[in-house]
Each structure stands twice: as C-alpha cells, then as structure tokens.
Amino acid sequence: MKRISESTVGRLSLYLRILKEYAGGATISSEELAGAAGTSAAQVRKDLSLFGTFGKRGLGYSVPELTGELRGILGLGQEWRVALVGAGRIGQALFGYQDFRTQGFYIQAVFDSDASKVGERWNGTVVRADEELERVLATEAIDIVIVAVPAPAAQSVVDRVVAAGVRAILNFAPTRIEVPAGVALKNVNMAVELEGLSYALANERANDRRGRAG
Amino acid sequence: MKRISESTVGRLSLYLRILKEYAGGATISSEELAGAAGTSAAQVRKDLSLFGTFGKRGLGYSVPELTGELRGILGLGQEWRVALVGAGRIGQALFGYQDFRTQGFYIQAVFDSDASKVGERWNGTVVRADEELERVLATEAIDIVIVAVPAPAAQSVVDRVVAAGVRAILNFAPTRIEVPAGVALKNVNMAVELEGLSYALANERANDRRGRAG
C-alpha cells in the first residue's frame, strides 16, 4: 500500500463517520460525500482511488461496501489492545468513553503511580501500580498506550512504553513528547485549544477598544 | 499587538504550562524553557520578544513575571463565560473537567435537545432545552460555546450560535464545521486521532508481513 499523508488518513476517518450517519440510501455520490466533509468531489475521488476502484460511474459508491473498505484501510476491522497510564480525571473520562470500544479499542489495563489509586476497581478492571507497566505491556500484548499523566511525568512514561516495544501512543499530557521514528504519536490537548480561543477573544476585545471609538 | 500565528499561540500555552510545573527556582533561562518545550532557545526568545522585553541578559526570565505576562497575552487573566451544548457522555466529561475553571473558563449553561435530559441538575446547573439556546446566550453574555452534539447536528448548532453573536467555538463533534471569518473555531477529535494510530499499526503489520519473511 502506498504511504499516504496524515491529512488523507484524517479525511478517510471523516468519510467513514459521514457514511455511518448517512440517511440518503444505499449509495452516495462523491459530491454528497464531499459536501458533508467540506471538501471537493475531486478530492474525495482522489482519496478513494489510492486504495483501488470503488463506485460505479453515475451510480456513486455503495454505502455498505465503502464503509467496509474504509474500516479495513483504517485498521478498524481489528481489535486493538489498549493500556491507559494515568487514573486521574482525564483517565477516568477516557475509560468511560464507550465509543472507543465500538471502534475496536479495548482498554485492557490501567496504571497509576499514586498508591491510593492502585487497587481501585473500574468496571472490573483493577488500577495497577506503575511498576507493573513493562511486565503487563508484554503479557497483555498491548498495541496502543494512552498517556494521561501530568506533563512532567509524560516523557518518561513514553520512553518506558517505547522501550517495551509499543508502537502507537495517544498523548493527553499537555506537553511536547518525543518518540523515535517508527512510533506513531498523536496528541489531544484541550487546554491548548481553549487558550487559543481565549487568545482570539482577548485580542479581538483589545482591537475593538483601540479601533472603534464608541 | 501584532497578529501572531496559531503555532506561536500554541507554544505560548506550552511555555505557560512548563512555568507552572517548573521547580528550578525564581528564574528560568531560554535554554531551559526551550529544552522542556522541545524547541530552540532562539525560538523561545523570538516568541517572547513579540510582546515586549522580558528577562535580563545572563539572568534569564523571572518565573512569576513571565507567568503573569503569558497569562495576560493568552487572555487568561479574564474569566470567560462558557456554554456547553450537548449533555451526553462527552458533555458530562467536559462539565466535570475541573481544570477549565482553574484556567478561567466557567460553564454557565448546559443545553440538550433530548427531553429526558432537560431539567437534570449537574452540580446546581440545570440542563436546559435546546430552544432556550439563543435567549440564554444573550442573557448570560456567553463568550465561548463548547459543541458536544452528534455530528449531524453540529453545523446547525454552530450556525445558531454564530448568528447569536458568539465569536469562539470549541467543537468536539466528529465532523467538519464551517464558521464565517472573525469567528474562532478549534476542534478536538479523539476518534480521528485513534484511527490515525490504528491506520499506522495496521499498515506496519501489513508491511511486516510483506517485507520480512519469517
């Protein structure tokens, strides 16, 4: 398979989500898909052509067939074994996020370095001590690690996880993380997004005050 | 104030977070800040010079002074009035995310279109009916709206919010949202990040099978 860009993978995710919610019938045109995705029909056709020939000229794409193909491309036909490091507020919210499971992401193990949290039962999953991390990553054959620890602890957790052979990390710690080539890293940072909004608002107000007397 | 890029604003957020956790004393050098942020000392000095003269040559930056300046630049000295649209699982997790409050983001109102949720009390905040949205945005002088509704409903919620005069939106719905110029929009999409990881893993396995016999 050709190497494709992160933005293409992001659009494929979006197409899949649109198909899931599509109420228009058994087929969908590239124009409809493009409209819902905020892109062009030419872009949709180009993205999908990377993976072979889909759809029939004039008839559009079969919704179930395209759904199946996209799920396969995105690795969603498989089940992924996930470990969560950090049993704080964000970790708890993520553990309770049921859509993970419906998409094939199964949290197998939860870790925390806080002795008062170790031993807690979360729906049958026991919070384990940080020292067990390497052993459990191996015995549970973990594919993906979600990092939800405070920022100063995040890089050292990631280093241990990478050394243990994990190749995919989703980081929620509000800090910059480095991983070696060959390890996939994604970051989710709500605080940074909110601060981007407050920056925009604060500046707009400042400009309003300066620019528009009265 | 000069117009600065989103990536600069993102780095300023990161510097602020690093300062908050810095245990090295009353001053910090641009080298230390750069090391923790994964950037260069020259970049740190360039970013901070946009806002005036900080720090003393050879002495570094005063941690409390720089913290205060960054908070001001990012609009964090102010309190922002936030409304949450969507009282589902993600909405609940966000409502419970206490760090919002410590950073000056106060959720004043929660809305849902599901009649069975309307009237629920969340820590003293009552979930309101969707029809009240426009009226409450105005009476409560809402600055920022967090959108946590299903994807098909998201654009119409955003259109109503924008029409009501809100200028900053944080979108959690897994779909592409359009806003007019002058409205700040940020997106957080965990599903897309996870699918990016599963794509990377699925492809790596496929390549392993093809490339490395035995």
Is A212 domain-assigned? no
Give me the pLDDT at residue A207, please: 62
Q: For residue A170, give the CATH number of its domain.
A: 3.40.50.720
Q: What is the pTM (predicted TM-score) of this model?
A: 0.70
- Chain B partners within 8 Å of A75 (Cβ): 195, 198-199, 201-203
Same domain, A58 and A112: no
Q: Do residue B195 and residue A150 have CB atoms under 8 angstroms apart?
A: no
Q: What's the DSSP call for residue B132?
A: G
Q: Do residue A197 and residue B186 have CB atoms under 8 angstroms apart?
A: yes
Give me the pLDDT at residue B207, please: 62
pLDDT single digits (tens) A81-106:
999 999 987 788 788 776 777 778 89
Q: Which of B195, B205, B212 to mutate to test the interface with A (most CBs of A within 10 A)?
A: B195
Confidence of residue B142 (pLDDT cuts 50, 70, 90): very high
Same domain, B35 and B55: yes
- Chain B partners within 8 Å of A152 (Cβ): 21
Same domain, B95 and B38: no
Tokens of residue B71, six digits: 């908070």
Q: What's the DSSP call for residue B60?
A: B
Q: Which of B80, B167, B194, B201 to mutate to test the interface with A (most CBs of A within 10 A)?
A: B194
Same domain, B66 and B106: no
Is A207 domain-assigned? no
Question: Mind telling me how many Å the CA of A64 is from chain B's nearest CA?
Answer: 19
E strand intervals along B159-207: 168-171, 184-187
Structural domain of residue A143, as residue ranges? 80-192
Q: Do residue A190 and residue B97 have CB atoms under 8 angstroms apart?
A: yes
Of A21, A37, A144, the CB nearest to B152: A21
Same domain, B99 and B62: no
C-alpha–C-alpha distance, residues A38 and A44, integer Å: 10
Same domain, A136 and A177: yes
Same domain, A162 and A115: yes
Q: For residue B45, give the CATH number of its domain.
A: 1.10.10.10
pLDDT single digits (tens) A30-77:
999 888 887 889 999 999 887 776 666 677 888 998 998 898 888 887
User: At which residue do the structure tokens 């228009």 appear?
Assistant: A24
Is A12 domain-assigned? yes
Is the Cβ–Cβ distance between A9 and B195 less than 8 Å?
yes
- Chain A partners within 8 Å of B80 (Cβ): 197-198, 201
- Closest-CA residue of B relative to A105 is B194
Question: Mind telling me how many Å the CA of A57 is from chain B's nearest CA?
Answer: 27
Give me the pLDDT at residue B91, please: 86
Q: Do residue A196 and residue B184 have CB atoms under 8 angstroms apart?
A: yes
Tokens of residue B13, six digits: 């957020």
Is A164 domain-assigned? yes
C-alpha–C-alpha distance, residues B47 and B6, integer Å: 12
Same domain, B88 and B176: yes
Give me the pLDDT at residue A53, please: 66
Same domain, A104 and A167: yes
Is A43 domain-assigned? yes
Phi, psi of A62 (to 5 degrees): -70, 125
Q: What's the DSSP call for residue B149?
A: S
How many domains does the structure of chain A reveal?
2
Give me the pLDDT at residue B213, please: 42
Is A199 domain-assigned? no
- Chain B partners within 8 Å of A6 (Cβ): 196
Tokens of residue A146, six digits: 């979600």
Q: CA neighbours within 13 Å on the CB side: how many for A75?
A: 24
Same domain, B25 and B68: yes
Same domain, B186 and B84: yes
Give me the pLDDT at residue B176, please: 79
pLDDT single digits (tens) B188-208:
877 778 888 888 888 776 666
Same domain, A54 and A84: no
Q: Is A57 left (phi over 0), alpha (psi -120 to 50) or beta?
A: beta
C-alpha–C-alpha distance, residues A73 and B52, integer Å: 49
Phi, psi of B14 (to 5 degrees): -65, -45
Is A52 domain-assigned? yes
Is A197 domain-assigned? no
Of A78, A100, A178, the CB nearest to B38: A178
- Chain A partners within 8 Å of B192 (Cβ): 10, 13-14
Out of B18, B45, B73, a domain closes at B73
